[in-house]
Amino acid sequence: MKPLFLFILSVFFVHTAMAQRDSAKVIKPAIINKTVTKAATLRVNSVEMTMNQIDLKLNELQTLIDKLKNQKDALSDMSQDDKMKLQQIMDRKSKFETMLSNILKKFSDTSSGIIQNLK
């Protein structure tokens, strides 16, 4: 914010100095001071209004950033829950595969035993 303010202020002073130089050729010094003072006052007011608008925009952006951070945190929390559920599902899948493997082994052992008894 400071760099923007300094930039606006420097532009203002350069513009004022150039206006003084250009108008000094045509207008008397007393009129120059009055004109420059009035123009400077208007520009300062304009700069203040611009700074107020920038402050409002910054406040709006900060509010938006805070909302997005809250949403991100909420998604992270949901993600933790989802990770837990996924881990449980993976454990169940592993147990199911082990059980299925044991059943198939029993079938195989039983069929081998029957074949051995037939011989």
Q: Give the residue, 110 or 119, on which the prediction is more confident.
A: 110
Residue type, 57: K
Label residues 65-76 b or e (16+ Cβ within 10 Å = b).
Answer: eeeeeeeeeeee
Higher pLDDT pick, 89 / 28: 89
Bigger pLDDT: 56 or 101? 101
Q: Under a CB-based contact definition with an 8 Å cutoff, are residues 23 and 32 in contact?
A: yes
- Rounded to the nearest integer, the mean pLDDT of the chain is 76
| Alpha-carbon span 119 to 112, nearest angstrom | 11
Read off the pLDDT of residues 58-110 as tens digits, 9 standing for 90 and up.
889 899 999 998 888 877 776 778 888 989 999 999 999 999 999 999 999 99
Rg (CA), the chain: 40
Residue type, 114: I
Burial class (CB in 10 A: 0-12, 13-18, 19+), 10: exposed
Q: How confident is the model at residue 14 (pLDDT cuts 50, 70, 90)?
A: low
Lowest mean pLDDT among 30-34, 38-42, 70-74: 30-34
Global pTM?
A: 0.38
Cβ atoms within 10 Å of 40's Cβ, excluding its own: 16
Whether residue 51 contacts residue 2, with contact meaning beta carbons closer than 8 Å, is answered with: no
According to DSSP, residue 1 is labeled -
